[in-house]
Structure 1
Amino acid sequence: MNRSYRLLWAGQALSTAGFSGSMIAFPLLVLAITGSPAVSGFVLGVDAAAQLLAGLPAGALVDRWNRKIVMLCCEAAQGIVVASLVVALVLGDATVPHMIFVAATMGVCRALFLPAENAAVAQIVTQEQLSTAVAMNSARGALGQLTGTAAGGFLYAIGRAVPFAVEVLTHLISFVALLFVKVPHRRPEKVESSDLAKEMVEGLRFVWRQRHVRATVACAVSLNFFFSAYYVVLVVLAKERDVPSGEIGIMAAMLGVGGLLGALLAPTLQKVISPFLSIAGVFWVLTVLTPLAVFIDNGYLLGLLFAGMALLPPTANTTIATSQLLLTPERLHGRMTSVMAVISGVSAAAGPALGGVLVQQFGGSDAILLCAAGIAVVTVVVTVSPTMRAFPVTDRVKEPTP
């Protein structure tokens, strides 16, 4: 990989770690200040809601603007608002409205940064390097989340402002690294009108008209929906079976460990496994492994089960994301990424709600089997789908004529 990609990767690895650490500390901070779990959950929810609401317009704006400048502005904005929180904590003036503002700003910045970065990566690396870059970005996300999550609680124990001060530092380093990233010049899309809604609709229409993109979106969203529900059910079931909290934490962490190992293996696996097999394999592995949790009451064994589930998804995600970037005209890269992010975000938000309802209505073991049954149905659809079976090899994907 070239120097620009390495700088971008390293800067975002630090930024992700800093953000993950503060996201562990944020609800603890709100709870300590307000004493209300409901307010703590609400503030954290503002971040996710802002990212979802800003998602579609963010993609259209990224396609209008210079992608490197968008990334620089996002890093600067995040650093500034988190620094304001650090100052407020040091002075003892932190308030709920201030924390809501910080959370909302962070969500909007991430909604803008993701499509800008994806579009920039497609410009920075060659077509032959794109799948490796996508896989390395996945590994970076898993690594940053693991390290940040592990450090967040420890830093908060040192002092309330410490994890947020560390996040400010990571955004500063990432900002400096971005200054030296060379993104090839692109001619901005000519905007015939200021109608942002039409540009957003254009992105939605493009995703809908590409049958491979449409099919993978439907299958991936369905899988994320049921697996998000399954995750919540499994945590509740572990509590019901008196699994120690420490073991539950390790169980959750092993999902990240498996994802990190899978991301590191993805470039190699993608070369020896057909696109259809890499995608269908994820569904079949989950179909086989998810029901096993009914018979396991040990947190460490559940962690190994999670790690096994997380090994193959990075390879499938690399295959799908690379194909989407190569298939999508460069002028629509931002909108395509934002559409995918919004759809995935809605699915991830709705899944846990389903998990809670299933546990309440049917109990832990039956809820696991119901989630597993949902995954199995999606697996059958993927397996027999002509569109999925004909999924194109990435080096044969060509950008459609506008």
Structure 2
Amino acid sequence: MTAAPPVPPPVPLSRNRDYRLLWGGQALSEFGFHSALIAFPLLVLALTGSGAASGLVMGTIAAAQMVAGLPAGVLVDRYDRKAIMLGCEAAQAVSAISLVAAVWAGAATVWHMVAVAAVFGASAALFEPAESASLPALVADEHLPTAVAMNTARASMGQLAGTATGGFLFAVGRFVPFLVDAVTHTLSFVVLLFVRLPRRERPTGGAGPLGREALAGLRWVWRERRIRVTVVCAVVLNLFFSAYYLVVIVLAESRGVPSGEVGVMAAMLGVGGVLGALVAPVLHRRLGAYGGIIAVFWALAVLAPVTVLMDSGYLIGVLFALIALFPPTANTAIMTEQLLRTPDELRGRLTSTLVLACGAASAAGPALGGSLAQALPGDRALLLCSAGMAAAAVLATLSPTLRTLSRRHESGRPATAG
């Protein structure tokens, strides 16, 4: 009986052509998206002078993402994921070009911008689960943590660079940020055409109503204990950090911190996020899934109350950078565990559920922080946020479910959808 030939080692990410193409195309796309995002309120204010109209346009992006979230997961699981990603890039490019033409001709209206914002939000809601669900098909299991971390770094860099550049581009010309957005989405579309994504088998049992399939995905996420606990961890982290961030801004304003230093604080948060994403693969290998998740809880619990002692926006910015180092490691641990434990036919709904839940937490966090800052002195509001983080850290540390996260299925494959 002849021995089976040895299985060749998986291709490393540095030589994984398809992953590099997808990553590079999305780096362009996210830069353009954030350049346009920061220019949207500037354009509305320049044309109408109305803060309410500006809020309507910006709120439409978030609302479209929320409304399209769960149906997007079903569509990603039902149809060809590459085709969905291509459609999202094309839709954003065409809508941005339409806005460029309208601004150039002096015919831009608020409702046109609302329509473009809705396309942007719905496209983001579709693209993110399609890309995340495709990752296990593009990279080997052992390279998935690094791929997730690199995607996080890409998003942080795109947000930093796009936000910093968008205002300058708007100063050059009101239509310029949207022209850059159209060009970057077009380039990303072309690059995506050359990504070879393995063909998936069509889900068995036929396609049911979107609502029923979306609920089936939610029920599966809730039934799977490890998946459910990691989703709860992500929601709690987003809720507490969003509340803490707003309380710190209010506290800094009350102490007379100049607006320029407040801007530095926000920028340092982004810098810490980028650095954290770059070191996340190393920390994930050393700490494991359980260690990576509880590390971010304890970093927030220990570092957040230190803000009470600081009156300098620069020092708070350094603290923000330190806090931001750990969330990418937790994100890497959570996403890797979830993708490997979820059947392929449910990965789109998994990601859309996580995005929707975290988006709701990120929206509720500032409301919570604002209520605390209104009801209590700044120092007490911040300490109360810190106490909540400490309680969450203790519960995460003691969780028997989180301790089991590093255990893989014996077969090396995720559980079935049954």
User: TM above 0.5, one fold?
Assistant: yes
| Equivalence for 1:164 | 178
Identity %: 56
Q: Secondary structure at the match of 1:114?
A: helix
What is the identity, as a one-letter code, of the residue corresponding to 2:149?
Answer: A
What is the identity, as a one-letter code, of the residue corresponding to 2:313?
Answer: G
| Cα RMSD for the two superposed structures | 1.3
What do residues 114-160 of structure 1 show as CA deviations (whole Å, max 9, x unaligned)?
A: 11111112111111211111111011111111111110111111111
| Equivalence for 2:129 | 115
Match of residue 65, structure 1, among 79, 83, 91: 79
Structure 1: segments with no counterpart, 5+ residues = none
Match of residue 3, structure 1, among 8, 17, 21: 17
What is the identity, as a one-letter code, of the residue corresponding to 2:356?
Answer: V
The answer to whether 1:256 aligns with 2:275 is no
The answer to whether 1:313 aligns with 2:359 is no
Q: Contact 1:128/1:395 (CA < 8 Å) preserved in 2? A: no
Q: Contact 2:30/2:159 (CA < 8 Å) preserved in 1? A: yes
| Equivalence for 1:177 | 191
Match of residue 348, structure 1, among 350, 356, 362: 362
Q: Distance in 2 between matches of 1:144 and 1:219?
A: 25
Match of residue 343, structure 2, among 325, 329, 343: 329
Q: How many residues align?
A: 402
What is the identity, as a one-letter code, of the residue corresponding to 2:172?
Answer: I
| Equivalence for 1:228 | 242
Deviation >6 Å, runs of 4+: none
Q: Distance in 1 between matches of 2:320 and 2:371?
A: 22
Higher alpha-carbon deviation: 233-242 or 297-306: 233-242
Q: Distance in 2 between matches of 1:401 and 1:222?
A: 28
What is the identity, as a one-letter code, of the residue corresponding to 1:26?
Answer: F
1:269-284 aligned at under 5 Å gives the runs 269-284=283-298
The answer to whether 1:246 aligns with 2:257 is no
Q: Secondary structure at the match of 2:196?
A: coil
Q: Contact 1:274/1:393 (CA < 8 Å) preserved in 2? A: no
Higher alpha-carbon deviation: 31-40 or 112-121: 31-40
| Equivalence for 2:313 | 299
What is the identity, as a one-letter code, of the residue corresponding to 1:344?
Answer: C
What is the identity, as a one-letter code, of the residue corresponding to 2:414?
Answer: E
Match of residue 133, structure 1, among 147, 168, 172: 147
| Equivalence for 1:287 | 301
What do residues 318-351 of structure 1 show as CA deviations (whole Å, max 9, x unaligned)?
A: 1110110010001111111101110011000111
TM-score by length of 2: 0.94
Match of residue 154, structure 1, among 135, 155, 168: 168
Q: Contact 1:233/1:364 (CA < 8 Å) preserved in 2? A: yes
| Equivalence for 1:29 | 43
Q: Distance in 1 between matches of 2:56 and 2:252?
A: 25
| Equivalence for 1:401 | 416
The answer to whether 1:78 aligns with 2:92 is yes
Q: 1:95/1:278 Cα in 2 relative to 1: closer, same or farther (>3 Å)?
A: same
Q: Contact 1:63/1:188 (CA < 8 Å) preserved in 2? A: no
Q: 1:232/1:321 Cα in 2 relative to 1: closer, same or farther (>3 Å)?
A: same
Match of residue 46, structure 1, among 51, 60, 76: 60
Q: Distance in 2 between matches of 1:162 and 1:400?
A: 48
What is the identity, as a one-letter code, of the residue corresponding to 2:413?
Answer: K
Q: Distance in 1 between matches of 2:396 and 2:390?
A: 10
Q: Contact 1:319/1:394 (CA < 8 Å) preserved in 2? A: no
What is the identity, as a one-letter code, of the residue corresponding to 1:254?
Answer: M
Q: Distance in 2 between matches of 1:61 and 1:237?
A: 44
Q: Contact 2:25/2:189 (CA < 8 Å) preserved in 1? A: yes
Q: Contact 1:74/1:113 (CA < 8 Å) preserved in 2? A: yes
Q: Distance in 1 between matches of 2:205 and 2:254?
A: 57
Q: Distance in 2 between matches of 1:223 and 1:319?
A: 14
Q: Distance in 2 between matches of 1:387 and 1:194?
A: 33
1:383-398 aligned at under 5 Å gives the runs 383-393=397-407, 398=413
| Equivalence for 2:374 | 360
Q: Distance in 2 between matches of 1:190 and 1:107?
A: 30
TM-score by length of 1: 0.97
Q: Distance in 1 between matches of 2:377 and 2:348?
A: 42
Q: 1:194/1:385 Cα in 2 relative to 1: closer, same or farther (>3 Å)?
A: closer
| Equivalence for 1:144 | 158
Q: Distance in 1 between matches of 2:384 and 2:166?
A: 34
Q: Secondary structure at the match of 1:273?
A: helix
| Equivalence for 1:380 | 394
Q: Distance in 2 between matches of 1:261 and 1:394?
A: 28
**Cα drift, residue 394 of structure 1:** 5.8
Q: Secondary structure at the match of 1:274?
A: helix
**Cα drift, residue 220 of structure 1:** 2.1
What is the identity, as a one-letter code, of the residue corresponding to 1:192?
Answer: G
